[in-house]
Structure 1
Amino acid sequence: MKVEPKIREFICTTAHPEGCREHVKRQIACVKREKIIHEGERVPKKVLVIGASTGYGLASRITAGFGCGAATLGIMFEKPSNGKRTATPGWYNTAAYEEEARKEGLYAKTINGDAFSREVKEKTIALIKEDWGKADMVIYSLAAPRRTDTEGNTWVSSLKTTGEPFTEKSLDLRNNTIAEKTVEPATAEELEGTKKVMGGEDWLDWIKALKEADALAEQALTVAYSYIGPKLTYPIYYDGTIGQAKRHLEHTAEVIAEEFPSVQARISVNKALVTQASAAIPIVPLYFAILYRVMKEQGNHEGCIEQMVRLFKEKLLKETPPVDEKGRIRMDDWELEEDIQNRVWEIWNQVTTENVEQISDIRGYWEDFYQMFGFGFENIDYEKDVEIQVSIPSIK
């Protein structure tokens, strides 16, 4: 069937299998152009990626596999095609990753299910012990709207402030207009739910389960991804419910280090990028569009794959990674440079519906958005019929 993008607010409800394959292949090519491993560095060889099908998780898997030659086991929660509707982009991405990995002789298997559940943890551990013995790296890159924990309790995350209502300019993704958006403060229950979903509790559950099953190597490395952002977005992000959850995630790295001294737990604070999760946050997409414009002008813009290449190549695999005063690896260092942020703020004060396309990179924002779903690649003929039912070999 012919597949076209169908947009509903901040999400695309279709995905193009050939476009998603192209997206994965371009990320693989980016990794292959770089020398990720340097002499004397630790080289991960058996990498578990929790949240492996899109965004930073997918880029991490590609970097580990094609940059380090690692066997990878990915955990995802995606839907295959039912013959009438397309699969989710993460399904197609994973099919493409496994296909390309097989060509290179790389181990690649995937478990599709709720990563928060006990069932998926047990299934993952069984597969690790059967195929690898132990994993030596665990990448935690989950973003979800809700979580049912191992005790059966369901928690829901919220995108709200934690103080007063916050009103600021926002980009309406339905029509590219600029209007003020007010974000209301969260209740105590909503804040707690967001911490339960987006905080570090499940990351800790994974490490505990792996250690108790003796499925984690000595001196294994685990990394989880966070975001801070500029002061402009603090009320909705860093000081909001999501930011409070990220603080919990960051504290969890300390808890893991205390409970399991043989595990090296790291937090990587990444750059602002268009992902399925970030597109849903009010006010943030407009900041992204302006930031893209400024960083592209400065020549230091990075996408997900470029971020992960730099993380692995320059920081994560070092014996002593460079960290800030709180022990975090800062991949947002270029984003938060004073000159960059001053220019962003200058444009922010000028931007209106009438000039947004001229003074921001709204086109670049939408290009990244569409490419997440496999659309917008110049070498793909979107007029052609494509097979939407694509299998993933490791998923029976």
Structure 2
Amino acid sequence: MSLRKIDPKQRGFLIVNSHPAGSAATITRMWEQIPPRPDGTSPVVLLLGHSAGYGLATLLTGLRQHNIQGIGVAYEAPETERRTASAGWYRTAAAARHAQEAGNDFVFVNTDAFSDKGKAEVLDLMEKRFGKVDYLIYSLAAPRRTDPVTGAVHHSVIKPLGQPYEAPALDFSDNTPKVTSLRLEAATNEDRQATEQVMGGADWQLWVEALAGRDLLADGFTTAALTYVGSELTAPIYRQGTIGAAKEHLERTGRHLNTGVLADKGRAFTVVAGAAVTQASSAIPSIALYTTFLRTVLGEGFRTTAQQAQDLWDQLTGATPLVTDDEDRIRLDGWELDPHVQDQVSELWSQPHDALARSADGADWFIDQIRELYGWSVEGIDYDQPADTTVPWPQR
């Protein structure tokens, strides 16, 4: 046990230490908000990127409502003398406790999912313990990836394509939200290619091919990779930028899987989720301000990641019909892109300084959501007391 008095070390939207009790409490709260609805099945699931965002919500919903078994994979930092463990480390420990108490046979592996070594470790365990996989959920997000074939290290960048990007953005550097002006220069072709290698479909395809090579695809195998489209307001920096190029690569990969390795063996989907406050999305310029305004318009109608994960599992399992677009992508974002909602967000976006003054609740909500990602500002946690920061990774 290592008791420490810790405080959040925050600069803008970046917090470099995590609170173990606060992180665990966010898992318990999400768990309790998911209505238990065991459907009698126990599919085998490989969930890549289980410790945050949509991957975490998909994990908890699958455990709570579909009695999933299998393996979750993440790459989280342990505690050091200078820092706490990552929030994802603490969340994984809490999720494992809930899974065990619910009787789910689910194993958590901390490894680099991009590497050949990581893939071999996970597939060896899958083969020995669970057998064939019913669902592969791909929800990895990382700033860099090492190509397992060439050894090249690719770094993703957040830049527009074709021309510079200028837009309002939410600044929280002095702990008071305000609107600033943002300008980003256009990406190079090398920037685009590197971002595609990190956030596109190359690694997703390698995982599916590795499962097929081990004969670990169950009858009716389904794989789904999470993506985002978003509003026309943020399109220049997201869907029409380097990240959007990577997401288009991901979607092309899904189509290639369906006509290639999965032909007559399974199906692959990309899943367009709605907006969310995640560690990944908070790093994208202008997304914070857009999400603040979206929350201002929707209030409690802003759908959580857990609510969206329930929709996803219901569609994947056939409990409800698939909602797909003309590109065969599963859509979970209708609530966000409703024209009436977008009209109201656009009105706020057109006068952002005045709108932020009218959106104080939305800005406060956004900042609290950011802090909760690291276990801070969580109701019921006494942050004045020393915390036990030494939390072991779940035993297999």
TM-score (normalizing by structure 2): 0.94
- Deviation of 1:76 after TM superposition, in Å, equals 0.6
CA distance in 2, matches of 1:55, 1:282: 18
Tell me if the contact between 1:36 and 1:309 (Cα under 8 Å) persists in the aligned partners. Answer: no
Which of residues 26, 37, 40 is equivalent to 1:35? 37
- The one-letter amino acid paired with 1:108 is F
What secondary structure is seen at the aligned counterpart in 1 of 2:219? Answer: strand
Q: 2:288 maps to which residue? A: 285
Q: Give runs of ≥4 in structure 1 deviating > 3 Å.
A: 34-37
Tell me if the contact between 2:312 and 2:332 (Cα under 8 Å) persists in the aligned partners. Answer: yes
What secondary structure is seen at the aligned counterpart in 2 of 1:222? Answer: strand
CA offsets 1:252-281 (integer angstroms, 9 cap, x no match): 111111111212111110111111111111
Q: 2:323 maps to which residue? A: 322
What secondary structure is seen at the aligned counterpart in 2 of 1:164? Answer: coil
- Deviation of 1:8 after TM superposition, in Å, equals 2.5
Q: 1:358 maps to which residue? A: 358
Q: 2:148 maps to which residue? A: 150
Tell me if the contact between 1:83 and 1:388 (Cα under 8 Å) persists in the aligned partners. Answer: no
What secondary structure is seen at the aligned counterpart in 2 of 1:81? Answer: coil
1:254 matches 2:255:
yes
Taking the TM superposition and a 5 Å limit, the aligned residue runs for 1:204-223 are 204-223=205-224
Tell me if the contact between 2:70 and 2:126 (Cα under 8 Å) persists in the aligned partners. Answer: no
TM-score (normalizing by structure 1): 0.94
Taking the TM superposition and a 5 Å limit, the aligned residue runs for 1:1-396 are 1-31=4-34, 33=35, 35=37, 37=39, 43=41, 45-151=43-149, 152-175=151-174, 176-259=177-260, 260-261=262-263, 262-296=265-299, 299-313=300-314, 315-318=315-318, 321-352=322-353, 356-359=356-359, 361-394=362-395
Tell me if the contact between 2:38 and 2:67 (Cα under 8 Å) persists in the aligned partners. Answer: no
- The one-letter amino acid paired with 1:291 is L
CA distance in 2, matches of 1:340, 1:132: 44
Give identity over the alignment, percent. Answer: 35
CA distance in 2, matches of 1:90, 1:359: 30
Which shifted more, 211-220 or 329-338? Answer: 211-220
Tell me if the contact between 1:145 and 1:197 (Cα under 8 Å) persists in the aligned partners. Answer: yes
Which shifted more, 168-177 or 55-64? Answer: 168-177
- Deviation of 1:357 after TM superposition, in Å, equals 4.5
CA distance in 2, matches of 1:250, 1:20: 32
Tell me if the contact between 1:50 and 1:75 (Cα under 8 Å) persists in the aligned partners. Answer: yes
CA distance in 2, matches of 1:310, 1:370: 26
- Deviation of 1:10 after TM superposition, in Å, equals 2.6
What secondary structure is seen at the aligned counterpart in 2 of 1:127? Answer: helix
What secondary structure is seen at the aligned counterpart in 2 of 1:334? Answer: helix
- Deviation of 1:123 after TM superposition, in Å, equals 0.5
What secondary structure is seen at the aligned counterpart in 1 of 2:334? Answer: coil
CA distance in 2, matches of 1:174, 1:107: 43
Tell me if the contact between 1:20 and 1:89 (Cα under 8 Å) persists in the aligned partners. Answer: yes
CA distance in 1, matches of 2:355, 2:166: 21
CA distance in 1, matches of 2:285, 2:195: 16
Unaligned runs of 5+ in 2: none
CA distance in 2, matches of 1:57, 1:97: 12
- Deviation of 1:355 after TM superposition, in Å, equals 5.5
Unaligned runs of 5+ in 1: none
- Deviation of 1:218 after TM superposition, in Å, equals 2.0
CA distance in 2, matches of 1:194, 1:36: 39
- Deviation of 1:359 after TM superposition, in Å, equals 2.3
CA distance in 2, matches of 1:253, 1:276: 25
CA distance in 1, matches of 2:62, 2:81: 33
- Deviation of 1:111 after TM superposition, in Å, equals 1.4
- The one-letter amino acid paired with 2:64 is F
Tell me if the contact between 2:348 and 2:355 (Cα under 8 Å) persists in the aligned partners. Answer: no
CA distance in 2, matches of 1:29, 1:82: 31
